[in-house]
């Protein structure tokens, strides 16, 4: 609150001395000219004591003076005048002085939780007993069969737990609207993986009931019908090896075929592919401008179609490849966006980084975790 424009504020004291009243009136009259405007500033406040007053009064009385800015202007003619009026001294609120909310920074634990699905989406640990010295082979195989049965039971429990989590997430979407932008990357992946695993679960459950501990003998050959949390490590590694071999074989074959096609149709090639950027920057809408040979190359690299489709005639292949590539690119574009908005590729776990590379057509077998993260960084660098 601004002080009142009085030149002299004194502590209450009995004015018994007429000399005191005369001196105070004389001091006020000499200052009234400079104090007739309400011009104040905070640094002008200073204590003032009258030394010519009686000693009995000056020991207990102290005066406070508020000097006006007019006096300062008079003593310094070169200084600029200060605008009059008490409302002029209020600070105006501009864009630079407004409070802007700081962006919320996520902790590493929060980033990992938003990016990586929970452990229930993965296969449980398979702990096979080692064959001890002097142990019979049949007895050892029996204990291995029991370990596999326990593994499959744990995998089925994980599939059901993932389905329950997906149900809760779908209920949340139903309350807030069917906008998948409300989901984190982990929640979005839970819904995607639960949907495919639940489709495989009935057939797999029937196989477990029929074959029991003998199921691992044929599990390597029926991978597509087994849910991901129920796949043994050897099964997953074999699938990756076959996938990369297929990519390498068909990729080399298609490179030779496309090279010959480009030589024969160089003018058409320039028209069909005016400016084709990196695979990670492609959108589903770009697929309509790509020919059948290039569509097949992209589909094989991204593992977007089944192998038996390659034997179909070209007139049927183009719409199939187009649908498969559009669907795969839509998934990858959404996953890339969620990874960027939920903390970046650096927060992906080892399993999720490997899975992300496989889905994007990046080779992972024989590579260290550092090399896998380096390849994933190169993918996201091309997107920016």
pLDDT digits (tens, 9 = 90+) for 309-357: 767 776 787 888 889 899 999 999 999 999 999 989 999 999 999 999 9
pLDDT greater than 60 at residue 204:
yes
Cα separation, 43 vs 20, whole angstroms: 29
DSSP notation for 10-59: E-------HHHHHHHHHHHHHHTTTTSS----GGGEEEE--SSS-HHHHT
Mean pLDDT, residues 105-134 = 88
All residues at 6 or more sequence positions from 196 whose CB lies less than 8 Å from its CB, including other chains: 227, 228
User: Taking 80 as the threshold, does the pLDDT of residue 56 lie above it?
Assistant: no
- Contact predicate 121/190, CB 8 Å: yes
**Phi-psi region at 117: left, alpha or beta (left = phi > 0; alpha = psi -120 to 50):** beta
Higher pLDDT, residue 2 or 383: 383
Name, of 43-57, 154-168, 181-195, 211-225, the range with top average pLDDT.
154-168
Mean pLDDT score of the chain: 74
Task: Classify 9 in phi/psi space as left (phi over 0), alpha (psi -120 to 50) or beta.
Answer: beta
Of 162 and 272, more confident? 162
Q: Quickly state the pLDDT bin for 285 (edges 50, 70, 90).
A: confident
Which of 102-106, 188-192, 253-257, 269-273 is least confident?
Answer: 269-273
pLDDT by residue (tens digit) across 74-91?
A: 444 444 444 444 444 443
How far is Cα 155 from Cα 123, in angstroms, rounded to an integer? 6
Q: What is the pTM of this model?
A: 0.65
In terms of average pLDDT, the best of 163-172, 212-221, 282-291, 374-383 is 163-172
């Amino acid at each position: 609150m601004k002080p009142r424009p009085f030149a002299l504020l004194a502590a209450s004291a009995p004015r018994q001395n007429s000399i005191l009243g005369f001196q105070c009136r004389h001091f006020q009259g000499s200052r009234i000219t400079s104090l007739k405007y309400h011009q104040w500033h905070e640094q002008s406040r200073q204590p003032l004591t009258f030394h010519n007053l009686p000693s009995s009064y000056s020991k207990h009385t102290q005066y406070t003076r508020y000097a006006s800015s007019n006096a300062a202007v008079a003593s310094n003619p070169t200084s600029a005048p200060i605008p009059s009026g008490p409302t002029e001294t209020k600070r105006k609120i501009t864009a630079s002085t407004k409070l802007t909310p700081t962006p919320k920074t996520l902790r590493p634990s929060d980033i990992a939780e938003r990016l990586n699905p929970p452990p229930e989406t993965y296969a449980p640990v398979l702990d096979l007993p080692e064959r001890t010295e002097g142990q019979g082979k049949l007895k050892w195989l029996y204990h291995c069969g029991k370990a596999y049965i326990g593994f499959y039971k744990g995998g089925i429990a994980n599939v059901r737990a993932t389905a329950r989590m997906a149900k809760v997430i779908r209920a949340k979407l139903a309350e807030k609207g069917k906008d998948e932008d409300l989901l984190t990357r982990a929640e979005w992946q839970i819904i995607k993986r639960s949907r495919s695993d639940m489709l495989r679960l009935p057939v797999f459950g029937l196989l477990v009931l029929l074959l029991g501990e003998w199921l691992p003998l044929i599990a390597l050959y029926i991978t597509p019908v087994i849910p991901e949390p129920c796949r043994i490590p050897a099964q997953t590694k074999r699938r990756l090896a076959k996938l990369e071999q297929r990519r390498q074989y068909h990729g080399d074959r298609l490179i030779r075929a496309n090279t010959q096609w480009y030589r024969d149709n160089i003018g058409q090639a320039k028209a069909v592919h005016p400016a084709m950027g990196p695979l990670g920057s492609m959108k589903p809408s770009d697929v309509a401008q790509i020919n059948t040979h290039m569509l097949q190359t992209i589909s094989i690299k991204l593992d977007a179609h089944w192998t038996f489709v390659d034997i179909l005639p070209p007139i049927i292949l183009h719409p199939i490849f187009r649908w498969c590539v559009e669907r795969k690119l839509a998934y990858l574009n959404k996953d890339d966006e969620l990874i960027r908005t939920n903390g970046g590729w650096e927060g992906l776990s080892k399993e999720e980084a490997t899975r992300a590379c496989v889905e994007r057509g990046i080779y992972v077998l024989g590579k260290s975790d550092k090399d896998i993260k380096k390849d994933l960084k190169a993918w996201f660098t091309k997107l920016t």
